[in-house]
A and B are shown apart, each in its own frame.
Chain A
């Protein structure tokens, strides 16, 4: 009996192993890079890349790394890969002009859902079959599955998008603010101000001590500024979050926005904000920080940060500090968590089947660990070296040779796959991405910042924006109108006399509603009530 059982078990095991082998063989045969062959005729593949107008970086559409892609990927599969520069500050116009010329790149990608939804509504994007995508790009697809991103790939009943990975999206620890600790010490602070009261007090003292005329600095706002999370009430009302929480069309008329602008008005009238902020560009603001004309500077961290390097050269005795996660110059130490995805990748409706397949192949090829690593870190001994203790790569911050990478370690190229350079534990990742070769090292502070943010996120202080699974047509219709209107109203409200603020705010809020915001929130509410949105997580 026992022998019989053993036989049955052995047979079953053998059968299962054979079936597994056959199915694995079949799967391997049908999918992924092993299944690819070169196209018979050359296929054109156009990939967008942000042109940020940054100084000291190679030509975005023709450099060592674009050629590296052509040689290592394009030439293998008879694909001609070209890169289409997209002005970072004017993405929608660039794509619109390319569409008008029927010259859209094969891939269209952006970080913001309303923008890609508009492209879909305008017919720029073609629908895709995710099963087919999974066959050509299984590594990329699996990453989407692992990161629970499949729910974001469709608009209504149609699937349009693939999603890049965004590690640690809910903490946004990579965006940091540096402040003048030496100035704070001069006015009696031994810590970075943690509340709005402390912040206003410190700014006033710095100003009165003659250390800096306008410590609050400031620069003209762009789209995506004026985020209301630090002015919201927690736990949030889910309906309000769904209809007002978006940062592309700012919620003029919503209580948190009122509080934000009221404080901006107070800071302006107290002489904390630079009175020329509205004609000061972001680059001018960086120069102001370097030249000791403002208190703080915010940016995404990277191994090479030119502004900080220039700052220490100009101010060798200065001391900087990172603003801790629990500190705020508003009401609540809350922030806008990034989307649970990086780039939202769509495909041109002008592209042929072969071109779209080439795009999927490119995404899969770049998802391979060795290719992604080389693209992110560069050449060993040139762009980076391995740390003898940890064995992890460390970027050469002042590298300026033949293999020089694009802006922020060529991120605008590999962002189609992932949003940040990751290697090892969070401590190791932070260490690798913290600015190198500066008189001060911020690694420990940023690691602490990360863990504090994890705790705050668990309490609901880092909400992501609501995502809609149906197109909100009013958003596409009124996006540019409302964005332009907001800039105008916002500056008028910031610079008006304090006693005029409330009446002016009320007037502008009504005009904003009439100009299209009412239509936007009505449609969002309808989608929310119909269950076509993500939900706000419930926190203990």
Chain B
């Protein structure tokens, strides 16, 4: 049986499963672990989705719980809190995308231009570090810095005479929105550069040499060579990020939450936790989870089509 045929013109590859396994077994072994992870965490839970159509009680199990048809969805969609959390999730994730998505690209372009290798490495390490801090630490430090009266930032600014009254960075919803988004960008932008820097290294050096000989400035090289060179990666990541527009990070929201900003902080992750888990309403939590996934999938598919229509490779 033919295993595959090369798409490269003039090159024919004929092999069998057995030969391929014997030759590359180490690679297949490496592949095995992520495949198991995906199966266990992404597919093995699918049978559990039936709890959406039940008034599921863990103690009664699937056999003992009552079937309620689409009642759970009805309940969720009629819930005012769900509407509030849905609105906030969409708005804040789109804002996160708008503010957070370009930052790693810009940062990667800047890092790529740094010529002193040691400085570049130190800078990269410093930029990666926030990614490894938990939201609990970041949230607690943020509150110490940004409290309206006793936060260090406000105290310093008041002492310097820049402001008369503390800025409610985390205690007034509009200020909170900006602080929340910017801290999110700060936390993730360094780590996000890794993929773009890897993509940049795959651009042929000859292109840069040719451009330099033709007298292209650093800015022109960046604009006409580097950016087009990573365009495919940018589009792929954009499509993947669009799939997360319905998601939200509970730890981040929880750590930055307080009663004065609930109007904005109440997003789907908080809704699922408060109503679904703390309130033991697992059917509701699962219904909202499925809703998030389906909408996310639709967005990915639409974005993929749009990307292809615009002449890009797309994702699928």
Contact = CB atoms under 8 A, between A and B. Distances in A.
B149 A276 contact: yes
B149 A480 contact: no
B4 interface: no
Contact of A479 (B58, B59, B149, B279): B279
Interface string A465-504: 0000000000000011100100110111001000000000
Contacts of B258: 220, 278-279
Interface string A345-372: 0000110000000000000000000000
B262 interface: yes
Interface string A328-355: 0000000000000000000001100000
Interface stretch (A25-33, A89-97, A385-393, A424-432): A89-97
Contact of A124 (B59, B259, B262): B59
A99 B148 contact: no
B274 A100 contact: no
Contacts of A488: 259, 262
B170 interface: yes
A278 B260 contact: yes
Contacts of A104: 59
Nearest to A274: B149
A275 interface: yes
A99 B279 CA distance: 12
Nearest to A491: B259
A495 B171 CA distance: 12
Nearest to B280: A96
B278 A92 contact: yes
Contacts of A479: 279
Contact of B274 (A97, A220, A484): A484
Contact of B278 (A480, A487, A492): A480
B59 A99 contact: yes
A144 B277 CA distance: 33
A313 interface: no
Contact of B149 (A92, A275, A484): A275
A421 to B, nearest CB: 33
Contacts of A100: 58, 282
A15 interface: no
B275 A481 contact: yes
Given A279-B171, A491-B259, A122 B147 contact: no
B259 A492 contact: yes
Interface string A380-414: 00000000000000000000000000000000000
Contacts of B305: none
B81 A122 contact: no
B143 interface: yes
A123 B57 contact: yes
B282 A123 contact: no
Contact of B150 (A90, A92, A118, A276): A276
Contacts of A481: 81, 274-275, 279
A271 to B, nearest CB: 11
Contacts of B171: 276, 278-279
Given A99-B58, A491-B259, A279 B170 contact: yes
B262 A480 contact: no
Contact of B59 (A92, A279, A350): A350
A17 to B, nearest CB: 51
B277 A96 contact: yes
B5 interface: no
Interface in B159-211: 170-171
B12 interface: no
A490 B274 CA distance: 18
A455 interface: no
Nearest to B60: A123
Nearest to A125: B59
A299 interface: no
Interface in B46-70: 57-60, 64
Given A124-B59, A279-B143, A488-B262, A480 B282 contact: no
Given A124-B59, A276-B148, A93 B277 contact: yes
Interface in B270-299: 273-275, 277-280, 282
Given A279-B143, A491-B260, A122 B277 contact: no
Contact of A102 (B58, B149, B150, B280): B58
Contact of A275 (B58, B148, B170, B262): B148
A122 B259 contact: no
B107 to A, nearest CB: 32
Nearest to B262: A488
Contacts of B275: 480-481
Most buried by B among A90, A122, A220: A122
Given A100-B282, A276-B149, A279-B170, A480 B274 contact: yes
Interface in B137-165: 143, 147-150
Contacts of B64: 123
Nearest to A348: B59
Nearest to B58: A99
Contacts of B260: 278, 491-492, 495
B280 A278 contact: no
Interface of B: 57-60, 64, 81, 143, 147-150, 170-171, 258-260, 262, 273-275, 277-280, 282
17 contacts: A92-B278, A92-B280, A96-B58, A96-B278, A96-B280, A99-B59, A100-B282, A276-B147, A276-B148, A278-B260, A279-B171, A480-B274, A480-B279, A481-B275, A487-B259, A490-B259, A492-B260
